Structure 1
């Protein structure tokens, strides 16, 4: 009863904040035709591209020879799901159904984070970060399916400790939708927990992939389109090339593969460098995994955030919706009082706010390569790079035992992070 009184107030405040902020996001969605909101470019992906793909998927085939289709086959069911709502609520358009499902998934993430945060020894800061952080991206999260992907990653992480089988399965399902959730299994403690989670991930992923392969035609066409991508203008490499335009570089911005990319001399070299940096980032994560000696209850969360940050900043593409992933993972970290990632979460919040200035508010400046556009992307990417470096450094240090001590290589027992009731009551 005492614990209920302690948590009910913050949970009610969190609920009110969610309703207010999501109402604001919906209002921005309605006003999306305004110049500073992108003149409709944010919502166009749903009512034009997603709806087109829905038509193909509903006839049993993934898009063929469509350079904008670059997603694993698990994305198919996600894009088909809005088509079920008009049967339940007649009159809904595909766009309206998509937004409704995205909001419902957003509410689910908030509820899961709040549920985790109200357990003894945990914190509601994660739910608060998600609730207050997502609106920093304006209405963009409602017009992309990254909220759905993030939900799978969040649930995977928050179930890994008590239910490693379910955690592994959710991670695999997320990877089938957008690949990156596979990284959430990186920080599972050595031993039985890792074997269980990874085995169930492979089993669930293999079974789901087989089911999709027999249910749809052309499930692997995305590999060809993904491999052909160049350097998106918002990536680190794209920022460097955009700045080089002021020093006489003869390249230009061009729409291809569903994004604004830079074409011209040395672009292939920059793309190759990005891939090399991604490989180096993977090597660093493997090295951390091999040398880590201390696992706290927050280590799987912290490792997931560090890994996705490293892969984001070394990518040839840094789309604005990537910040949805990072906000979700940072929120999971903050549910634990053991996390090493609190300053990283602040950098992710700052990068999210600045990302909305880059797109959609001043995206025309970015595409034109003006000094304003270049400096905005440089600042946003600088924040993300700083967050990635800081995240990995803090993850590395947290995984080393205190000097002169030998730390266990597994997590403490589930109740070992329980705090005294008096401490909980003032948190």
Structure 2
């Protein structure tokens, strides 16, 4: 309890952010519990009712493989079964799910606050809380959907996979703690991958050398182990793959906007409910759905090309890892056949991590502009769903114009992010100089030896920072 009382979240300089988080989440929880009326709550809570049905099926010993709406990796079962544990306390499944989501939201907040505290300790300056505020305000702007989908739980796993550290003790050397840090981070990202796939893309910015390989191998081993255990325990673990392949273009996706606009001028398009989504049917929609998959592969290829051609392990920094993860996640979202409002939860979590690195006295993110563009999309997403969703389904002007505008902003953020990431690191070192002019900032030594504390629970001071007066490495040549 003494350690909890001295945690950063209770420090006077963090109380304002903590009060805003607590107040905003209380209001969101009152909305979700229907203690305070919320417009169209019934349409928002529908997915939790579906989770309940799936959880009952899984309690009986099998995945809901016969339901075409089941399109999730095997470990999603763990998330959907978790409310069953609270349900034994006399709380219904739906309300139990809301409390599990609230805990996940609190974990992200604590991790970001701990990150701000660590950076303040490294730089010797006041805490920079833009990342914390991005999560507090961005989550509130998205509305009750934060607690009515399991995406906030996946985001908590992903953020922990980027920030979690293992403490150095008298029995555990700094080098051994650092090895365990990257093993744990990899395992968490691997867990996230088998809960909802996307956290695995965050490994795009992993450090080079042994640290990166340790994270990658831990992610693969953890994912395979979890999938193997779940497949052995319940049949139908891989049924989601066949259900995913039949998906069409969902009405809110980037690729849907041209069809929606064309429908205003008489293009023969209609909305159908298939595979658990409201998607488009009509001339050209099948071809565009296949094109979306190709575009995703091309976007990933661009990031991979950056990794091969522009990534310099000696100039790696945490900011660069967050920037790369945020960029590849943007690519994944805008090229997806589905762009549900809850996908913004993922982007807000990564945007908050990027902005957390942007404090004074620290070479920070190159994603400040794309991150702010994503933040601007959050309130729009709550307006279009659920308030204007009926208009979207019936190809109304206002709802679809709003979605098209949101998608244009996300597309702009993605292009700016790709450009910023590409130009953040120089292709080669200038001739005659031992290093690039942009690398005059202190480099992080190899290995990254840290005096470690859990990233969300207290301050963390790197050996590199103490040796160089608290000026850590920046994101390449940003």
Considering only aligned residues, what root-mean-square deviation do their CA atoms show, in Å? 2.5
Match of 1:134 in 2: 139
Q: Which of these residues, 7, 17, 20, is aligned with residue 17 of structure 1?
A: 20
The equivalent position to 1:203 in structure 2, one of 221, 227, 242, is 221
Match for residue 272 of structure 1 among 287, 290, 296? 290
The question of whether the paired residues in 1 share the 8 Å contact of 2:9 and 2:110 is answered with no
User: 1:86 deviation in Å?
Assistant: 2.4
1:201-280 → structure 2 map (5 Å cutoff): 201-280=219-298
* C-alpha contact (below 8 Å) 1:160/1:168 kept by paired residues: no
CA contact (8 A) 1:118 1:124 kept: no
SS state at 2:164 partner: helix
Q: Residue 390 of structure 1: which of 413, 416, 433 is its match? A: 416
> Does the CA-based 8 Å contact 2:187-2:223 persist in structure 1?
yes
Distance change >3 Å, CA 6–CA 143, structure 1 → 2:
closer
Give the TM-score normalised by structure 2.
Answer: 0.82
Structure 2 residues not aligned, in runs of 5+: 1-5, 167-177, 359-363, 449-461, 471-478
Distance 2:210 2:420 in 1: 26
Q: Aligned to 2:129, which of 121, 124, 130? A: 124
Deviations along 1:112-164, one digit per CA (max 9) or x if unpaired, are: 11111101237332222111110111100100000110011101111379511
Structure 2 Cα separation of the partners of residues 187 and 282 of structure 1: 13
Partners in 2 of 1:245 and 1:218 — Cα distance? 39
- Aligned residue for 2:390? 364
Match of 1:99?
A: 98
Give the aligned partner of residue 78 of structure 1. 79
Cα pair 1:295 1:399 within 8 Å, conserved:
no
Instruction: Show structure 1 runs of 5+ residues with no match.
Output: 422-427
Matched, 1:352 2:352: no
Which residue does the alignment assign to 1:281?
299
Contact 1:312–1:322 (Cα < 8 Å) also in 2 = yes
Q: Deviations over 1:79-112 (max 9, x none)?
A: 001000122x2x2000111001110111111111
The equivalences for 1:154-169 within 5 A come to 154-159=159-164, 162=178, 163-169=181-187
Q: Report deviation, 1:32.
A: 9.4
Q: Which residue of 2 is the match for residue 311 of structure 1? A: 332
CA contact (8 A) 2:30 2:36 kept: no
Distance in 2 (CA, whole Å) between partners of 1:176 and 1:246 is 40
Match of residue 156, structure 2, among 143, 151, 160:
151
- Equivalent residue, structure 1, for 2:456: none
Does the CA contact (< 8 Å) of 1:32 and 1:43 recur in 2? no
How far apart are 1:33 and its partner, in Å? 10
How many angstroms apart in 2 are the aligned matches of 1:157 and 1:37? 36
Q: Specify the alignment match of 2:43 in structure 1.
A: 41
Name the SS for the 1:276 alignment partner.
helix
Q: Is 1:33–1:40's contact at 8 Å kept on the other side of the alignment?
A: no
CA–CA separation in structure 1 for the residues paired with 2:92 and 2:444: 48
Structure 1 residues 354 and 402, CA gap change in structure 2 (3 angstroms): farther
Measured in 2, the distance between the counterparts of 1:33 and 1:117 equals 33
Instruction: Say if 2:250 and 2:338, in contact at 8 Å, map to a contact too.
Output: yes
1:176 is the counterpart of 2:194: yes
Q: CA deviation at 1:28?
A: 2.5
- Per-residue deviation at 1:401? 6.8
Which deviates further from its counterpart, 114-123 or 320-329? 114-123
Alpha-carbon distance change, 281 to 5 in structure 1, aligned in 2, over 3 angstroms: closer
Is the contact between residue 51 and residue 94 of structure 1 (CA under 8 Å) also seen in structure 2? Answer: yes
Q: Residues of 1 paired with 2:402 and 2:303: CA distance?
A: 29
